[in-house]
Amino acid sequence: MNLSTLAVHIDTEATSPTHLSAPPIYESVGFRFDSVEQLERRARGQSDDWYYGRYGHGNMRLLEDAMKRLDGAEAALACATGMSAIYCAVWAAVNKGDHVVAARDVYGGTFVLFRDELTRLSVEVTFVDPTAAAVEAALTPQTRLIFVETVSNPTARVVDLERVSRLAQQAGARLFVDNTIPTPCLCRPLAFGVTGVIHSGTKYLSGHSDAMSGVFLSNDRDLVQRARQIAIKTGMQVAPFEAWLTLRGIRTLSLRVERQSQNAEALARWLDEQPQVSRVWHPRLASHPEHAVAQRLLPHGCGSLFAFEVKGGVTAAARVIESLKIARFVPHLGDVATLVTHPALSSHINVPDEERQRMGVTDGLIRVSVGIEDIGDLIADFAQALKMV
């Protein structure tokens, strides 16, 4: 054979795959078939052989299998981002004329997806406070889906999944929960009778701000299969390297989340005693609206995310944020490093003032996604920054 042929047809099989202790990265878009009959069976959906990258690949399968075990789910779909997981899950669950009840304080990207795109399909969406009473009051005979976040961002509101799940069952609606912030380490929503769980793998699952992914999980295999068909049609599947990075992050997830939860609670309690701070939104503090719900739902920790308000509005908040030396000013969450941001002038910039105040997203509010640093170093950093106010 000539070199031009040899170079193209290099070996694609590893010599001893059974001895690997870490998963390989399967960067293969096409897959070889041994016969036309085998290809026909795959094309007719009669086998699940690897077919073409958009239909699934080795790293996607490994991530899905890992998440099924972590969340205790029968089926999983791994997507390119958290938003694509939400899109595939929700579009698999609703039809024209349906009514959706969603928590008002869901992630901004979810809010605008529902407000702008779901409603264009003649799906009516009612946004409510993240409480069981508000969800109940919004239910109609057409309600087919309730969508909430276990712990919301930035004020760490906690939804009573047991009560909302019962309401969904009584109403004949599905309940989807974005569980990005607690992760399966702190909460496994399927155990409460929830229909579907979504994670942005971009956050705590991968954990190092270097990968984007998302996962949809359910015990309803048909529902996940429908979501998978949407992912295939729209090309929303996770890429091999991103799936590999997410899976690598998952191997240290429980250690990171445990440390981050402890750090967050300690930092929140310390901030609550500082004279420059007017309010701290952490579910372990008695002042938090869902303090009791969180004790029941999140007994092992509330996760790394919380928010606090400094006296003196935007000017004071900006001084604190810009004076921090260890905590980084990044509008993102879930990293091993502590990240802070200013929600009023970023994620909530288009929310009308009155509504924003009602949500607690005041001008002095700072959101913190606490990392795994030494807690003494973190407290010292926030102490020197608060002195600048």
Ligand X SMILES: Cc1ncc(COP(=O)(O)O)c(C=O)c1O
Interface pick for ligand X out of 105, 178, 220, 290 (rule CB under 6 A): 178
The beta-strand segments (E) located in 254-296 are: 277-281
| CA pair distance 190, 69, nearest whole angstrom | 12
Residue 385 beta carbon to ligand X: minimum distance, rounded to whole angstroms = 24
Q: Which of 150, 155, 180, 237 binds ligand X (CB under 6 A)?
A: 180
Query: Which is it for strands 196-200 and 174-178: parallel, antiparallel or unpaired?
Result: parallel
Q: What is the DSSP letter of 327?
A: S
59 HSE (CA, 13 A, CB side) = 25
The smaller minimum CB distance to ligand X, of residues 98 and 178, is found at 178
Of the two residues 276 and 338, which places its CB atom closer to ligand X in the complex?
338
Q: Does 125 bind ligand X (CB under 6 A)?
A: no
Least spacing, CB of residue 333 vs ligand X, in Å: 6
Query: Rounded to whole angstroms, how far apart are CA atoms 270 and 264?
Result: 10
x/- mask, ligand X, residues 43-72, rule CB under 6 A, reads: ------------------------------
**If you ran DSSP here, which 8-state letter would residue 238 be given?**
P
H/E run at residue 68: helix 58-71
In the set 59, 131, 150, 153, which binds ligand X (CB under 6 A)? 153
> Closest separation between CB of residue 352 and ligand X, Å?
21
**Pick 200 or 362: Cβ nearer ligand X:** 200
For ligand X, the binding residue among 53, 56, 82, 240 (CB under 6 A) is 82
User: Cis (ω within 30 of 0) for the bond into 331?
Assistant: no
C-alpha distances (whole Å) from 53 to each of 61, 78, 104, 201, 361 are: 12, 13, 36, 20, 42
d(CA 140, CA 149): 21
CA-wise closest residue to 362 among 374, 371, 375, 353: 353
Q: Could you say which of 53, 56, 207, 214 contacts ligand X (CB under 6 A)?
A: 214
Q: For residue 237, state whether it binds ligand X (rule: CB under 6 A).
A: no
C-beta of 179 vs 263, nearer to ligand X = 179
- In angstroms, give the least distance from the CB of 311 to ligand X: 27
| Chosen residue from 51, 91, 107, 216 binding ligand X by CB under 6 A | 107
Do the bridges between strand 99-103 and strand 124-128 make them parallel or antiparallel, or are there none, so unpaired? parallel
Residue 103: strand pairing partners: 128
Q: How many residues bind ligand X (CB under 6 A)?
A: 13
**Is the distance from CB of 223 to CB of 297 less than 8 angstroms?**
no
Residues in the chain: 389
Active site residues: 54, 107, 178, 203
- Residue 12 burial (CB < 10 Å; 0-12/13-18/19+)? exposed
Cβ closer to ligand X: 148 or 190? Answer: 148
Taking CB atoms, the residue at the shortest distance from ligand X is: 82
What does the block give as tokens for 32? 């070889």
In the list 83, 94, 205, 320, the residue contacting ligand X (rule: CB under 6 A) is: 83
Rounded to the nearest whole angstrom, what is the least distance from the CB of residue 66 to ligand X in the complex? Answer: 17
Q: Which of 23, 72, 109, 289 binds ligand X (CB under 6 A)?
A: 109
| Of 56, 67, 81, 335, the one binding ligand X by CB under 6 A | 81
In this structure, which amino acid lies at residue 350?
A: N
Is there binding between residue 200 and ligand X (CB under 6 A)?
yes
Which range, of 54-62, 79-87, 94-102, 286-294, touches ligand X by CB under 6 A?
79-87
Q: Which residues bind ligand X (CB under 6 A)?
A: 81-83, 107, 109, 149, 153, 178, 180, 200, 202, 212, 214
